[in-house]
Amino acid sequence: MIQFQGSPALQTERLRLRKIQLADTEAMFQNWLSDDRVMRHLIKGPHDTMAQTKARAMEILSSYEEDTFCYWGMEEKRSGTLIGVIDLFAFDAATDHCEVGYCIGFDWWNNGYGSEALAAVLAFGFQEMQIHKISAAHNIDNPASGRIMQKVGMIQEGTVRAMIRNAAGEYKDCAIYGLLRETYDLHNK
């Protein structure tokens, strides 16, 4: 059974994974939510206004009241800058499975932040929440996201054709990755 604990603060070598705050609205807008280079890989398109981002931040804040909401901002320790987000979602109580998703601002791509944050969230999910399997997906035209998943031990299990439709109305094939707790435990003793 999944042991929900909400979104406690997590630490990595270079990141603080923490709850989003209303004061993060401008950083969220500037660092990724308004950037088409980042948002083109997601179902929802870029935000056009700060008001959209404020509404999203308010939605996140109200969701923290539920211990089943596992959503963290990625704050770079050195600069104190919020560079992205990562979350666990789509929990299935019958199988103790869930999904993980993440989004990182373009200026921080290719610096290892994604795999660092993902490793911390996987550890929390498997060790603290007792999740059995964590899955993730990425558009096949975004192979860098797949490399993040591979770096932390996730295994590609297949490809789903036309799995999502992005904000531009384009259908995208997605590569599906997964990691079982027993595999994680075997490699992280």
Average pLDDT estimate for 2-20: 98
- pTM (2 decimals)? 0.95
Position 111 in a domain:
yes
Mean pLDDT across the chain? 95
What's the mean pLDDT in 164-181?
Answer: 92
Q: Would residue 1 count as lying in a domain?
A: no
Residue 179: give the domain boundaries: 10-187
pLDDT digit string, tens, across residues 115-150: 999 999 999 999 999 999 999 999 999 999 999 999
Give the residue carrying structure tokens 């056009």: 48
Domains contained in the chain, number: 1
Q: Is the pLDDT of residue 95 over 90?
A: yes
**Any idea what the CATH number is for the domain that residue 65 is in?**
3.40.630.30
